Amino acid sequence: MVPSEGIKSQHQLYPKEEKPFVVNVLNVLKPAAGEKTLLNLDEVETILHELGHGLHTLFSKVKYASHTGTHTPRDFVEVPSTFMENFLYEREFLDMVGKHFVSGEKIPNDLIEKIVKARNNLAGTGLFRQVNYSLLDMYWHGTNGVNIQDIKKLEDEVFYRNAYDIENNNSLVSTNFSHIFEGGYAAGYYSYKWSDAIQANILNKFKEAGMFNQENAKRYRELLLSKGGSIDHLENLMLYLEKELDPDALLKLYNLK
């Protein structure tokens, strides 16, 4: 898969306002000769995710190009993208884009119910893992590595272990987890889950208004998407939500609370 890539950034500086230009590129398996290219659920989710980054860039309305679209603090950059993934689990959206490639039939209700249920499969394990990875990332960047002699011991101290981990605890994460030291995530791996926690609040707001309510979508666009990195995003987030962030929103989304 290839991400959303901004070719030209929006700005409002001399000599004239520049409009944004962004492309989303997706690599998928080439179909057999004469067959159609069909997308699986994961691929559609990726398209929605990257569309979220794309919309963040396209809806930008800021003065400086350095503030445009996804040029936000790390805390917010994955919010519009992970939020868009929610549409994959909405009947109305699936009715628009999902149909049988031969008969044209819409996706049956019972299949949609299965898709929605499968979303939370192993959600707790995944959440546990990402919190542990975030803690480890923070630990490495907040300590003097020279003094660390035993990585296994360190990980045992940093990680929250569940019963499964304690039974199967033979592998090291630090030595193969590239996000700790490269790719711009140093001490920022937490932002994946944090963005997810924020987007769960935005999702609740959309659900209250109706997922396709245009007035609400317009407020989301104006207060958050169009502002890029030119604002304090937490302040605008609360303006949009009209309340404080709910820390339980993510757990409820995953059906863990």
- 69 burial (CB, 10 Å; 0-12 / 13-18 / 19+) is buried
From the list 45, 50, 85, 155, the catalytic residue is: 50
Tokens describing residue 176: 């193969």
Tokens describing residue 63: 């003065």
Least spacing, CB of residue 71 vs Zn ion, in Å: 14
Q: Which residues bind Zn ion (CB under 5 A)?
A: 81
Residue 35 known to be catalytic: no
- The answer for residues whose C-beta is within 8 angstroms of residue 241's C-beta and 6 or more apart is 201, 202, 205
Q: How far apart are CA 164 and CA 167, in angstroms?
A: 5
Closer residue to Zn ion, CB minimum distance, 24 or 236: 24
Least spacing, CB of residue 215 vs Zn ion, in Å: 27
Closer residue to Zn ion, CB minimum distance, 81 or 134: 81
Least spacing, CB of residue 192 vs Zn ion, in Å: 9
Closer residue to Zn ion, CB minimum distance, 5 or 246: 5
Place of tokens 């209700």: 109
Instruction: Please list the helix, strand and coil fractions of the chain in percent, rounded to the nearest 5, in that order.
Output: 55, 5, 40
Between CA 226 and CA 50, with CA 12 as vertex, the angle to 5 degrees is 40
Closer residue to Zn ion, CB minimum distance, 48 or 94: 48
Least spacing, CB of residue 76 vs Zn ion, in Å: 12
Supply the residues annotated as catalytic: 50
